[in-house]
A and B are shown apart, each in its own frame.
Chain A
């Protein structure tokens, strides 16, 4: 079955850029019926949606992060990535990548496969 694995540095300095990659295994990132998303969780807090990557290289980002976020895909490596610029301590969190399954005829959209998460500390 499809599995996701986040990777990237666990420590980033303030004002620098956070870069994370999610590797998809057991399936193709280009397969129909799915989008690819990032979610984060500040320690002890709730979940925050960061953004989503659609089929046609389009993206949608959380407006609270939009000016600092970029998501892109490397189909040859079956990976998608997150880049967050000008980080501060408030960006310290566990970052999850997730697959969004889409069933357009029923208007269903849900995150059914998640990575285990990677902790990023800004300090």
Chain B
């Protein structure tokens, strides 16, 4: 099982700042199988990035993904108020298709 470890657990930043979220995999898999999701309270997750670096339809270009196994990064270039949420990485490279434990991005 590929365990995904996200860091930090909580990130406190202000609107306009840059956010860098990390996801490290315990086992190698192709970057094509790495996705990032955003989840707000009471809502379903929303796909942001697939294939480690491809923005999903309708996702603003302030969101970008990078990296290759085992280290992946989600960057939000200039935080908007609506970006404060929990972010999860997810791998579809080897079953079980695990999620990271999440990074909570909170307003400082």
Contacts and interface: CB of A to CB of B under 8 A. Distances in A.
Interface of A: 39, 46-49, 52, 60, 62-64, 96, 100, 106-112, 114-117
B84 interface: no
18 contacts: A39-B45, A46-B88, A46-B102, A47-B39, A47-B99, A47-B102, A48-B99, A60-B95, A62-B95, A64-B96, A96-B44, A96-B45, A106-B51, A107-B51, A108-B32, A110-B56, A112-B57, A114-B45
Is the interface on chain B under 10, 10 to 19, 20 to 34, or 35 or more residues?
Answer: 20 to 34
Interface string B95-106: 111111110000
Interface in B38-79: 39, 43-47, 50-51, 54, 56-57
Given A47-B45, A96-B44, A115-B44, A108 B51 contact: yes
A62 B37 CA distance: 20
Contacts of A115: 44
A107 B93 CA distance: 9
